[in-house]
Structure 1
Amino acid sequence: MIPEAFNFTVNQIFELREEHVLGNITYTRVALFIVSLIVAFIVAKIVAIYLRKKFGHRMKKDQLKFFIRIVQVLIFVIAIGIAVPSFLDVSFTFMLIGIVGILVVIAVSSQKVISNFVSGVALHQERVISAGDFVEIGGVSGTVEGIKLFSTLVRTTSGVFIRVPNDQVYGTQVSNYYANAARRYEYTLGIRYEDDTDRAIRLLRAHLEQFPFALKNPPPDIFVSDIDSNSVIIKARVWFPSEWANTRDDISLRTGILPGMKKVLEDSGIELPYAQQVIHFAREPFSIRVEGRDEGSGTDPGRK
């Protein structure tokens, strides 16, 4: 009794395997297709773990994430390319022609999307900007939050998030204030003509060398840059770490240093001049001729 039931069940299974679900597609082909996708998913996860261990210390987090995503997409494309011909019972050449045709249609109808995708790959390859960098892209300036497949997200100093298409980032001028380890700032002060410029430079140099975040190498560069109508202009060039400089905007940074430079000079008797003009009048004699009428004589004599 049991062998007969077993044989009946096995026969049902084989009949089910050969039963057509849709057209020439059988349950066996459906099962193989699903298994292929599951295997591709597992392989993609294993490859992602390997890439994180292999390149985690060589690449930045957002660049590594983008690279892993591209590899995983390629793994799924290869798995589908292998599974689909047997699933649909078509030749590989015929399927390849179909894929090329679909890609051509997508390329023609979605040029902007493809351009953004290619630009995103180029940005990751060239490493022009990365997450955390303070950049200026066209008229947008702020901190890069991340580079996605099709766009770059920038957070401005006002806390506004702006999405910039990758093709615009790649095709325009980009200023990266974080790419270099250090960044130079310039400060300008004016002193009176009668003040000692050498003494003022020594006082400012000593103050800036004691500033916590000012770099010792290269040292601050302080010199007389100009002499205008009201004052002698002293310019100071100071280098700061880029990472520290980007944690606050330029106004806050200058606000912390300029008042200290002003106080050092004033405490030493060196004052910042007011804008003023001296006007000299020439002391030359002059006369005014006033003409009137003499009522008694009926004439108009001139009087001085």
Structure 2
Amino acid sequence: MNVTGVMDSVLTFQDMILKIIGVVLILFIAIAIGKGISIYMQRSLKDKIDSEHMNIMQKVAYYGVIVLAIVVFIFPILNIEPSGLLVAGGVVGIVIGFASQSIVGNFISGLFLMTERPVKIGDQVNINNHAGYVEDINMISTIIRTYDGLYMRIPNETVFTTDITNYVANVVRRFDYVVGIRYEDDADQAIEIIQEILDKEPFALKDPPAGIFVDNLGDNSVNILVRIWAPITEWYELKTRLLWVIKKTLGENGIEIPFPQRTVWFASELQTERIPQIGSNENEINETF
């Protein structure tokens, strides 16, 4: 190797080292700028935007700065043509898309969920017959903590395409009781007593008003339907407490909840026969039907 070849090799090596240093330096500056923008957004917008949207905006800003730095500064340093990279990326993207359709579907559904926001973290929901609390909404899946303490991971595509029942989206919620009283009791008096109980209960809403009426005549009782609206924050506690209060107050006023009763008719009179009891004196007998 002649002197010219050695000098060219040295210059090429120095040029490669300088490019590597330039790329690392640009990446370091881009990461620092992205992190700074993310921290600034958190401090300046924390009282204006909820935490879920804030987290998305921070990630978009952080990774956006890095991608912009790579395309604008690093690609020219490495002599990479963006147009050729886009063509290659398109081919690779098609291959990956066919191989991971469900992942892409879950990712896109996650974006729609974060935009539409049918559920939020902490909501009580029923998704695909899985009821519980929303613990987290990720880009690929949603985490549900069921009422019995189990954690369930539901793909976002399933969440987005299935029926969602949000129990706490509305500020008020209704619950119903069916109170059965005896036929000989006064239904009007029972309705008045229940209404007085609700009037004294601070969490039983007056607007919308409660509904109390005779719903149907059952086999053993007159069934009174009681419909009560309550704030969503007090709904469960009121529902579990108020029914016993109604039952006890009705009993104190002589109105009872009847037991099931049946009347049995026989086609003919019962015949009796006297037989000796086994192991006893012949004079001792039993009566059987």
Query: Normalised by the size of structure 1, how large is the TM-score?
Result: 0.77
Structure label with greater radius of gyration? 1
1:255 partner amino acid: T
Residue 196 of structure 2 aligns to a residue in which SS?
helix
The equivalent position to 1:88 in structure 2, one of 74, 78, 83, is 78
Q: Which runs of 5+ in 2 are unaligned?
A: 1-7, 270-289
CA deviation after TM superposition for structure 1 residue 19, in Å: 4.8
Matches within 5 A, 1:81-230: 81-230=71-220
CA distance in 2, matches of 1:64, 1:243: 26
**Identity across aligned pairs (percent)?**
34
Task: Quote the residue 2:251 is aligned against.
Answer: 266
Contact 2:176 2:226 in 1 (8 A): yes
2:156 partner amino acid: N
Contact 1:150 1:166 in 2 (8 A): yes
Contact 1:230 1:276 in 2 (8 A): yes
1:41-92 residue CA offsets vs partner (Å, 9 max, x unmatched): 2332233234435653454322332343234333322222224422421222
Deviates more, 1:95-104 or 1:150-159: 95-104
Alpha-carbon spacing, 1:208–1:18, altered in 2? closer, same or farther (3 Å): farther
1:276 partner amino acid: Q
CA deviation after TM superposition for structure 1 residue 94, in Å: 1.8
Q: Which runs of 5+ in 1 are unaligned?
A: 1-14, 285-304
Deviates more, 1:49-58 or 1:35-44: 49-58
2:13 partner amino acid: H
The equivalent position to 2:263 in structure 1, one of 266, 278, 285, is 278
Contact 1:62 1:146 in 2 (8 A): no
CA deviation after TM superposition for structure 1 residue 130, in Å: 0.4
Contact 1:66 1:148 in 2 (8 A): no
1:124-146 residue CA offsets vs partner (Å, 9 max, x unmatched): 11110000110001121100011
The equivalent position to 1:76 in structure 2, one of 42, 57, 66, is 66
Alpha-carbon spacing, 1:154–1:273, altered in 2? closer, same or farther (3 Å): same
Contact 1:209 1:220 in 2 (8 A): no
Alpha-carbon spacing, 1:178–1:32, altered in 2? closer, same or farther (3 Å): same
Residue 233 of structure 2 aligns to a residue in which SS?
helix
CA distance in 2, matches of 1:69, 1:227: 62
* CA-based RMSD: 2.7
Residue 155 of structure 1 aligns to a residue in which SS?
strand
Contact 1:143 1:155 in 2 (8 A): yes
Alpha-carbon spacing, 1:28–1:265, altered in 2? closer, same or farther (3 Å): same
Q: Which runs of 4+ in 1 moved over 6 A?
A: 281-284
Deviates more, 1:121-130 or 1:212-221: 212-221
CA deviation after TM superposition for structure 1 residue 165, in Å: 0.7
Alpha-carbon spacing, 1:53–1:224, altered in 2? closer, same or farther (3 Å): farther
Deviates more, 1:78-87 or 1:140-149: 78-87
CA distance in 1, matches of 2:186, 2:41: 63
Task: Quote the residue 1:7 is aligned against.
Answer: none
Contact 1:185 1:237 in 2 (8 A): yes
The equivalent position to 1:20 in structure 2, one of 13, 37, 54, is 13
Contact 2:26 2:74 in 1 (8 A): no
CA distance in 1, matches of 2:96, 2:71: 18
Task: Quote the residue 1:289 is aligned against.
Answer: none
Contact 2:177 2:225 in 1 (8 A): yes
CA distance in 1, matches of 2:92, 2:73: 18
Total equivalences in the alignment: 262
Alpha-carbon spacing, 1:34–1:236, altered in 2? closer, same or farther (3 Å): same
CA deviation after TM superposition for structure 1 residue 253, in Å: 5.5
CA distance in 1, matches of 2:40, 2:268: 92
Contact 2:203 2:238 in 1 (8 A): no
